Structure 1
Amino acid sequence: MSKKNDEIKTFYKGLGFCGFGIGSNTAEVDVKDGKVLRIRPMKFDKKYKQEELNPWKIEVRGKTFEPKMKTLLPPFSYIYKKRMFSKNRVLYPLKRVDWDPNGERNTQNRGESKYVRISWDEATDIIANEIKRIHKQYGPYAILSQGDGHGETKAIHGPHGCQKNLLELLGGSTTQARNADSWEGWYWGIKHFWGCEPIGQGLQKNMWWDVSNNTKMLLYWGCDPETTPWGWGGQNPSRLCRWFKEIGIKSVFISPDLNYTGAVWADKWIPVIPNTDAALQLAIAYIWIKEDSYDKEYVATHTVGFEPFRQYVMGEEDGEAKTPEWASKICGVPTYTIKALARKWAKDATTIGHCNGGSYIRSGYSSEPARLEGCLLAMQGLGKPGRGQLKFIEFGQYGLHEYYPCPKSKVIPNVGGAYNGATYDISGQFLPKTLIPKAILGDWTVENPMTWYGVTSSGFPADDQFVEYQYPIEEGGSELHMIWTDTPCWTTCWNGGNSMIKALRSPKIEFVLAQHPWLENDCLFADIILPVSSKFEQEDIACDNQSGAFNSLYYEGKCVETRGEAKSDYECVCEVAKKLGVYEEYTKGMTYEDLIKRGFEMSGCQTLMSYEEFREKEICVVPTDENWKDVVPGFGDFANDPEENPMTTPSGKLEFTSENLSEYFPDDEERPPHPKFIPFGKTHQESYLHPRSEKYPYLLVSNHPRWRVHANMDDVTWLREIPTCKMRGKDGYMYEPVWINPVDAKKQGIAHGDVVKLYNERGWVLGAAYITERIMPHVIYQDHGSRLDPIVTGESDRAGANNLICPTNTVSQHCSGEVTSGFLVGIEKADELELAKQYPEQFNRPYCPHSGQILTSRVIENK
């Protein structure tokens, strides 16, 4: 904390919203009289001279790209103070009114019941007694620790598993293992082509420099850098898009929607029908093989298994050549466009850009377009200058040199030493996040267990995908009977939310405990809710290793006093630990200052300054490595010498036909040894080519949202004033926009602003029609992650939480990843005033007339 004058104090805060202490949205927070005045970019030159940081510089064609001397904050950071005072803040411990731990639990009323305020003493007594009872009756594995996923960026105080550490002291728990969510196709597919542990995306070292100097055409394949990284990567990707345009790199966008980046920077938009990217990719490969325009020498020396792939592409395997004419009928891209794209790609050095991967990487059978992307890159000499895969935000939290697309620093700060959450531990019982509803709703026993392959977390190696796991485990295993969550947004962020609602209301789950700052989403199904403090109300330590500017570590002071009786996630667990008699053992006697110091001493920055200097300066910014230009970009080392620089595949080379898939799953028709176009199968029928499309004739694209971070920030009134964020219905409610092409709108009799109903056999959600030519015909678009506002609980939702009606099934038979985009729905005009008559209680909940924001209204004031 540093004084600007006698009245205003300025604090550093990392306002990221995924992960723990690794966000790049680092801000300066000005506070006066205990109130937040403003949030501003953090300026590096307030603490450092520019020459001390050795800023990297990329110079191309008389233009220069270099880091700013301040952080580049997205809107989410500037408006965070608004969320701190949301009407939906949970300020006191709450108990569901019709849940009695000593009597009727009424699990069927979860999601509909109201809450009454209780004391911390009563709440922690109930929690401690329930844990003891569950342990005695079922054993420790009967408690599910949901400590992963989409939460705020905090280290000491953050979510992501503080409760798991406590439960481990008591004998263990069932761990919810996070799936690869935004990385599904990379994790389940392309890892078997090129390895690239831990996440599967391509080697990223020095890629910004390589693309700037060598790439002629950049394919933004399902990629929206103007939107996707806002929650954790700031706005440097936006600068990068502008830079590539300024230096003359041709920008081609391939996606069903003309996204926000494409609307500004696209030289050409190629609309493609969801779930058909694989057909387009195969047709490009066909042109190259037929016209002899691929890099045959590279394929011969750097890859294995090309011949079976070639036979499939040319139709020798199944009798159907994957021609542009064949693909065009499937993917909706004109034949001439496919041919032109293939020929230009073969002629000019081309890189494919991603921000995690886009919605096509989170669709059914996403392993196939991911693998095919690798195949196409390999056919044009992957790793040669300008030919690679670019990720628009760096992934510094892995601490791996290979995951730096921009010039690297000498030190990669990491605050893991201060982190109080739990890492994934599969020594006991665990469940993939995507399989939680199936686990709860099934009747599983040790003799008749649920089985799957792979831990499913992106950090695990590819070989783990061939290990079979089971629930319940053989030794001490138990079905679930209690859930303790600190990231309560499963229903609105993962696959098949209505199935999860059904699971949360199951009588099998006797106790649901949630801790969260806001009464939203899964909190509505909790029996006890503990109030969690906001980022501004906590003292912590954080680092920035994703912005692409400078890596930094900084101290986060407590800006304002805590509202109500809220406590941090860590403190919530500490209160329960006290009632269980293990507080000292849990905290190890460490104060917050001790934890901050431990984080610093394990951060890497301890090699640059002392802890005393760090606490005085409150920040450590790491200079750019003097030799950053000497780092060979991306796959360059492999391209130059594949024998000395092998991939992490079994062969050490790029595998058109996977040796592991051939050995372990040779007969898997949904993820075969070499990639194929799979329109539908046993697991999914989300395709226009399947008869199911006659009943549900539109494919829904659901991307990362523009105006929130997954399910975070949907109640910020300032954002709701933006027309592309929410649209006001005739009833005053603010509905989630649904993009629909004018052709389809006319066919359905839908006008701009009309409330519409999206439906399939899994349920229905509402939205407001946003008629635009930025979505291709026969496809509709609605962001994922809208705040839950049930009409009929487990069946319908007013706010447009379309994760409720996405497939419950995972990527494919042997791939337990999420599927949250590219699924079939019907759409029809709805009358919100008539619906209000049909569902008067649900449509008459109090909301702010200005913002259309539904208020909590679930808390019964104590008399």
Structure 2
Amino acid sequence: MDITRTALHWGRYDVVADGGRVVEVRPVPGDTTVSAIGPGMPEALNAPYRLTEPMVRKGWLDDGPKRGTNHRGSEPFVAVSWERATELAASELRRVIDTHGNEAIYGGSYGWGSAGRFHHPQSQIHRFLRSLGGYTDSTGSYSVGAMEVILPHVIGGDPWSIWQRGTMWPDIAEHGELVVSFGGMATKNAQLNPGGQGRSEQLEWQRRARAAGVRFVTVSPLAGDTAADLDAQWLPLRPGTDVAVMLALAYVLQAEGLHDREFLATCCVGYDRFERYVRGLDDGRPKTPAWAESISGVDADAIVDLAREMGTRRTAVNLSWSIQRQDHGEQPYWMGVVLAAMSGSLGRPGGGVASGLGINKTGVRARRWPVASLPQGTNAVSTSIPVARIADALLEPGGAYEYNGERRTYPDLRLVYWAGGNPFHHHQDLNKLAQAWQQPETVIAHDSWWNPLTRFADIVFPVATAVERRDIAAGASDLSLMAMERAVAPPEGVRTDYDAFAGIADLLGVGKEFTEGRTADEWVDELYERTRRTFADLGLEAPGAAEFWRAGGFETPEFTSVVAGDFGRLRDDPDRHPLSTPSGRIEIFSERIAGFGYDDCPGHPVWLEPHEWLGAAATATYPLHLLSNQPSTRLHSQYDGGRLSRESKVAGREPIAMHPDDAARRGLGDGDLVRVFNDRGSMLAGLRVDSGQRPGVAVIATGAWFDPEPAGAYARMCRHGNPNVLTRDQGTSRLAQAPAPGSTLVEIERFDGAVPPVRAFVPPEIIGRDGA
């Protein structure tokens, strides 16, 4: 047995190998915070659906590139050599560039493919395509797409600066008194870090705050959205109605004189216009607690009591990432900032506003020491699309759309190159996406398994996993710099993303630009040396390379720096420390946004009815609100075939939770196989009855590998339980065009038909080998 220590998304593990195969992944001794996801990896690493040689879709190989008449996702594949696959990919890239220009290439990648600083697929594909002259890129994210656009208008800074400027747990534990979390702080979201996890600290800090006397309030449809030992008060609201509750809290603060008048006058602009709206002076509808109760279902007296507490105690307002993934998802983030400003706690220790407390290291510390990563170069193509609009872009080349004050046109995409991520996991309305995915002439993909992405590709390169290559891990806000030793060699026929790109780059004449003459291991060593030099310039001595690899990494001290746009400095002297907004202040009313003329995102925070919610007329047909949250048994869709994820299934399907009253009304019981459906599609799932959620709500995790039923009475159905066959592919608003899966209505019934087998983990048909 060989044991190698490495770092992954979920923590540090010892990887046990026997005969060149991983047989066990176990937590480093003494670390009780590490996730159980890692130990579930070996089953997937050695699975029959592992990709071990390049593949080409037979229809593409026989007929060549076609526009709109492809049969991706339903055709067999042909095995080819690495040389053949490399030649095909290079030839197709050259054809598209010469015929249609670099803008016709969409460089798809959505991170998370590896915790390493070098073998990060998003960095690799962007560097590669930029060396070819550029590509159409994406902007924003599925996680926080609305926040990324709205907050720079409201509080200035770059889209991510809220994570450095938001309220931190050490301050909450020392100075705070109350944490009000809209959307909760589910413990499952603390078990991972995109750059690699050293030791998980999130729950420890939450418990420290509780031990110091901080009170927690969770405003969420789910009681389990906060750790049980925090003793949080639960205000169960209807999904998508957070803004109504926030507005009622603001109404009480204003009506009872509890709002921070001085801060609103000196550090904000536009409060007077917003107050008119809250009081109903123009629309005749005061945003009272009774008004909010009629929309949200939250008791009016509870809203009054909470508002009074927020106005008299040091309060941190936490905005979960989930509450923006709904129609008008910009509004809760804008309104959350306004509520924090009104409460008197913004800019004071232990109070204010935060985005995503409870998720990985958010709120634990503002920053870590800067660690080098693979340089990506400059994209010579300026065209980009909002990441969640990829299906529209493929279906409507040349179509017009609006985004953040601009009128844009979708490019004519002929080739999609995807490395890292699974669009058939994170995109909405997968039946629409499957249709859109037939439009490009060619789809090239890198992955380690026959997952939905590779099944819907034309040329597939099999690539190594995180335990089969050497790298350096450094997670966001994590003080650990960790060695990722190669535990085993990749299976025969499998190479790294870097090697695949390097081979294509050589054939296209840009090999030197892409590799700079370095192997992958030489790049890893170079990045460590660049990191050491950066640390030295900042006054920190890092161990030499030999000692780093021998020790498996090292811990850095806390990294402190002044954060531009800090709310405390704004409160102290707004003239000397203005924000980077047009006014230099917090923009409660934004003249810029108002000037865009968007009725779905006006000039200050407002309550706008979602297209689908429990107050909509559509509940007569689809009476349940579907919430598709993050899984606890895998990372997004990664390792859905791993042991932990497979063991969580019910009848081989993803479990869906219903309130006992809703289940009883339909004659359903725990463990039943059910069909969940609306007019966009349907899925099979295994029922779990759960009293810890609001009636009228059904909850299922995202990430079950898309497994569409090909024909028959249940066409457009996912046999495995991927909720994105049901979600609506519509942007949050014309401002952010972010995803809105949280606004989805469904119905659920027992499935009594012939049960189709789950084929998500069965490889497609392979028809021989192409020897050309």
Verify same fold: TM over 0.5. yes
CA distance in structure 2 between the aligned counterparts of 1:145 and 1:611, rounded to whole angstroms = 36
SS at match of 1:181: coil
Equivalent in the alignment of 1:415: 372
Counterpart check, 1:77 vs 2:32: no
Please list, as runs of the form range in 1=range in 2, the aligned pairs for 1:275-294 lying within 5 A after superposition: 275-294=240-259
Contact kept? 1:189, 1:366, Cα under 8 Å: no
**Counterparts of 1:605-754 in structure 2 under 5 Å?**
605-606=535-536, 607-609=540-542, 611-612=544-545, 614-615=547-548, 617-619=550-552, 621-625=554-558, 635-662=567-594, 664-665=595-596, 667-680=597-610, 685-721=611-647, 725-728=648-651, 734-754=652-672
> Shift in Å at residue 161 of structure 1?
4.6
The residue number in structure 2 matching 1:15 is: 8
- Matches of 1:484 and 1:520, distance apart in 2: 16
Q: Work out whether residues 178 and 310 of structure 2, in 8 Å CA contact, stay in contact via their aligned partners in 1.
A: yes
Superimposed CA distance per residue, residues 416-435 of structure 1 (whole angstroms, 9 cap, x where no aligned partner):
1xx26x47847433222212
Contact kept in structure 2, 1:735 and 1:766, CA below 8 Å:
yes
Shift of 1:285: 0.8
String of CA shifts for 1:679-735, please: whole Å, max 9, x gaps: 04xxxx1133332332222211111112121111211123322xxx3212xxxxx11
Deviations 1:279-308 (A, max 9, x none): 111111111111112222222222111111
- Whether the aligned pair in 2 keeps the contact of 1:358 and 1:703 (CA below 8 Å) is no
> Would the aligned equivalents of 1:513 and 1:527 in 2 still touch at CA under 8 Å?
yes
* 2:349 aligned with 1:385: yes
CA 1:144–1:408: 2 relative to 1, 3 Å: closer
Q: Does 1:367 align with 2:367?
A: no
Structure 1 residue 121 displacement after superposition: 2.0
Task: Provide the secondary structure at the position in 1 that maps to 2:527.
Answer: helix
Q: Deviations over 1:392-412 (max 9, x none)?
A: 67999xxxxxx9844578x61
Gaps of 5+ in 1: 1-6, 17-23, 44-68, 397-402, 454-464, 473-478, 729-733, 837-842, 847-852
Provide closer, same or farther for how the CA distance between residues 348 and 712 of structure 1 changes in structure 2, counting only shifts above 3 A: same
Kindly indicate whether the alpha-carbon contact (under 8 Å) linking 2:189 and 2:359 is maintained by their aligned counterparts in 1: no
Which range moved further: 226-235 or 798-807?
226-235
User: Alignment partner for residue 758 of structure 1, among 653, 676, 682?
Assistant: 676
SS in 2 for 1:227: helix
> Does the 8 Å contact 1:492/1:803 carry over to 2?
yes
Corresponding position of 1:816? 737
Report if the CA contact (8 A) 2:565-2:577 is conserved. Answer: no
Following superposition, the deviation at residue 414 of structure 1 comes to 1.5
Q: Give yes or no for the alignment of 1:214 onto 2:175.
A: yes
- How far is 1:844 from its partner? 4.1
8 A Cα contact 1:394 1:546, kept in partner: no
Q: Distance in 2 between matches of 1:14 and 1:580?
A: 35
* Cα shift at 1:266: 3.4
SS at match of 1:602: helix
Counterpart of 1:566 in structure 2 is 494
Give me the whole-angstrom Cα distance separating, in 1, the residues matched to 2:522 and 2:739: 39
8 Å CA contact 1:495–1:820 kept in 2: the answer is yes
Return closer, same or farther for 1:813/1:15 CA change in 2, 3 Å cut-off: same
Question: Residue 536 of structure 1 aligns with which residue?
Answer: 467
8 Å CA contact retained: 1:303, 1:654 = yes
1:437 and 2:391 matched: yes
- Cα contact 2:105–2:417 (8 A) shared by 1: yes
CA deviations on 1:452-502 (whole Å, 9 max, x unpaired) are 32xxxxxxxxxxx33444333xxxxxx112111113511211233222111
How far residue 194 of structure 1 moved from its aligned partner, in angstroms, is 1.7
From the superposition, tell whether residues 605 and 385 of structure 1 become closer, same or farther in structure 2 (CA, over 3 Å): closer
Partner of 2:59: 98
Query: Which residue, 456, 459, 475 being the options, matches 1:525?
Result: 456
- Cα distance in structure 1, aligned partners of 2:590 and 2:28: 47
Name the amino acid aligned to 1:146. G
Following superposition of structure 1 onto structure 2, how do residues 174-213 of structure 1 map, counting pairs within 5 Å?
174-175=136-137, 177-199=138-160, 201=162, 203-204=164-165, 207-213=168-174
Deviation at 1:612, TM superposition (A): 4.2
Q: Which aligned pairs between 1:489-504 and structure 2 lie closer than 5 A?
A: 489-504=422-437
Match of 2:483, SS state, is: strand
Give the distance between the partners of 2:564 and 2:79, measured in 1 at CA: 60
Q: d(CA) in 1 for partners of 2:61 and 2:352?
A: 59
Following superposition, the deviation at residue 615 of structure 1 comes to 4.7
TM-score of the superposed pair, with normalisation by structure 2: 0.91
1:346 aligns with 2:300: no
Residue 313 of structure 1 and its aligned partner are, at CA, apart by 0.5
- State how far apart, in whole Å, the 1-side matches of 2:672 and 2:748 are: 12
Relative to structure 1, the CA distance from residue 433 to residue 316 in structure 2 (aligned partners, 3 Å threshold; closer, same or farther) is: same
Partner secondary structure for residue 378 of structure 1: helix
Q: Percent same amino acid among aligned pairs?
A: 26
Aligned length, in residue pairs: 756
Is this contact kept in 1: 2:165–2:563, CA < 8 A?
no
> Residue type matched to 2:618 in 1?
R
Task: Please say if 1:828 is aligned against 2:758.
Answer: no
Q: 1:809 to 1:626 in 2, by over 3 A?
A: closer
Cα pair distance change 1:544/1:189, threshold 3 Å? closer
1:156 to 1:613, Cα distance in 2 relative to 1, 3 A: same
Q: Distance in 2 between matches of 1:111 and 1:668?
A: 38
- Structure 2 stretches lacking a partner, 5+ long: none
Specify the code of the residue in structure 1 equivalent to 2:402: W
Name the SS for the 2:677 alignment partner: strand
